[in-house]
């Protein structure tokens, strides 16, 4: 029976899982990545989250709703103007080394600017940019997307510092071993800075929306909005919060143990599980989903 929710489930997964079990598939090394759940105060007093819909032409998660984000740039490991908790503190929080922590935090800030036009940086550790519109900002954003300029160079030429204190690390999910495109992704929360506005600046998305996490969850449960497990899982968490600042504060107590899907074979059936998230379990036979 087909699922009535909007869970993203590539049709090639069952056979790739079987190939992995037979030793015929070598897992791809996951690429470190970051994604940001950008929140703002909604008109009804409840927080809204910024979501983008990935183009149907995309090779990965086509048509699925997701947050702004992307992979790390090796150059983000270099010297960079930084404010807020230091690299050592971030490394301890994320359970990784300082270089990785810096790259991931930089990716979170850089990708949010690249894909949503929102910049978590300021002229000082107490300030945040109030406006990122205009052709000069757009030219810099395009240069970052094209990797013609590093994020450190971008900040330096504008005399800005990255505001790591505006981020809260919420979760970590790793793409399953049987997926051909894999990411080791950290999920962050951040409040939309005053004066800035998000927009669809990504070539990977065909639309963006602001909606309450509860409304997004309802759309998924009806099957109207397609999402990957990490997206809907984090939205269910966010639906219980009442303000963007509450989400950033709550992030400090979140468990960052990586979530990695596991699969096992029972006869001709594939059973796919996501530890700690029973709602995503799938039982699949060769003819289709049950």
Q: Express each pLDDT in 143-185 by its tens digit.
A: 999 999 999 999 999 999 999 999 999 999 999 988 888 999 9
Within-domain flag for 227 = yes
- pTM of the shown model: 0.91
Q: What are phi and psi of 95, to 5 degrees?
A: 70, 40
Distance CA 105, CA 103 (A): 6
* Cα 178 from Cα 169, distance rounded (Å): 26
Q: Look at residue 2 in the predicted model and tell me its pLDDT.
A: 39
Query: What's the confidence (pLDDT) of residue 116?
Result: 94
Residue 277 · residue 266 · CB < 8 Å: no
Q: Is residue 237 part of a domain?
A: yes
132 within some domain: yes
Structural domain total, the chain: 1
Task: Determine the pLDDT at residue 178.
Answer: 87
Asked, for residue 6, whether it belongs to a domain, the answer is: no
Rounded Cα distance, 42 and 47, in Å: 5
CATH code: domain of residue 180: 3.90.79.10
Structural contact between residues 221 and 55, judged by C-beta atoms closer than 8 angstroms? no
Which helix (H) or strand (E) segment holds residue 142: the answer is helix 135-145
Residue 7 lies in a domain: no
First vs last C-alpha separation in the chain = 4
2 part of a folded domain: no
Residue 54 is part of which domain span?
Answer: 13-289
pLDDT of residue 86: 95
The 10s digit of each residue's pLDDT in 79-109 is: 999 999 999 999 999 999 999 999 999 999 9
User: For residues 137 and 142, what is the distance between their CA atoms, to the nearest angstrom?
Assistant: 9
Residue 217 lies in a domain: yes
Residue 37 to residue 51: CA distance in whole angstroms: 8
Q: Which residues of the chain have pLDDT under 70?
A: 1-5, 55-62, 202-203, 205, 286-290
Structure confidence at residue 3 (pLDDT): 44
Residue 280 in domain: yes
The whole-number pLDDT of residue 91 equals 98
């Amino acid at each position: 029976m087909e699922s009535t929710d909007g869970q993203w489930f590539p049709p090639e997964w069952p056979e790739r899982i079987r190939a992995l079990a037979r030793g015929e598939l070598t897992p791809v090394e996951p690429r470190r990545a970051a994604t940001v759940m950008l929140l703002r105060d909604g008109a009804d007093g409840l927080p809204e989250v910024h979501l983008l819909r990935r183009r149907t032409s995309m090779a990965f998660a086509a048509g699925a709703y997701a947050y702004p984000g992307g992979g790390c740039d090796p150059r983000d490991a270099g010297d960079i103007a930084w404010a807020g908790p230091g690299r050592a503190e971030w490394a301890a929080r994320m359970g990784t080394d300082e270089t990785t922590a810096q790259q991931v935090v930089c990716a979170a800030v850089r990708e949010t600017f690249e894909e949503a036009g929102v910049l978590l940086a300021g002229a000082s550790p107490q300030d945040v940019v109030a406006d990122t519109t205009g052709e000069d900002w757009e030219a810099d954003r395009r240069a970052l997307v094209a990797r013609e300029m590093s994020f450190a160079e971008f900040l330096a030429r504008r005399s800005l510092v990255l505001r790591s204190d505006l981020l809260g690390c919420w979760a970590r999910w790793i793409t399953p071993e049987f997926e051909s495109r894999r990411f080791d992704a950290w999920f962050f929360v951040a409040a939309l800075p005053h004066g800035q506005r998000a927009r669809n600046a990504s070539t990977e998305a065909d639309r963006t929306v602001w909606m309450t996490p509860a409304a997004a969850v309802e759309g998924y449960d009806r099957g109207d909005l397609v999402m990957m497990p990490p997206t809907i899982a984090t939205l269910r968490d966010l639906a219980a919060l009442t303000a963007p600042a509450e989400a950033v504060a709550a992030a400090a107590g979140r468990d960052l143990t990586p979530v990695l899907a596991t699969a096992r074979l029972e006869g001709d059936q594939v059973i796919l599980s996501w530890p700690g998230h029973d709602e995503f379990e799938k039982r699949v036979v060769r003819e289709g989903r049950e």
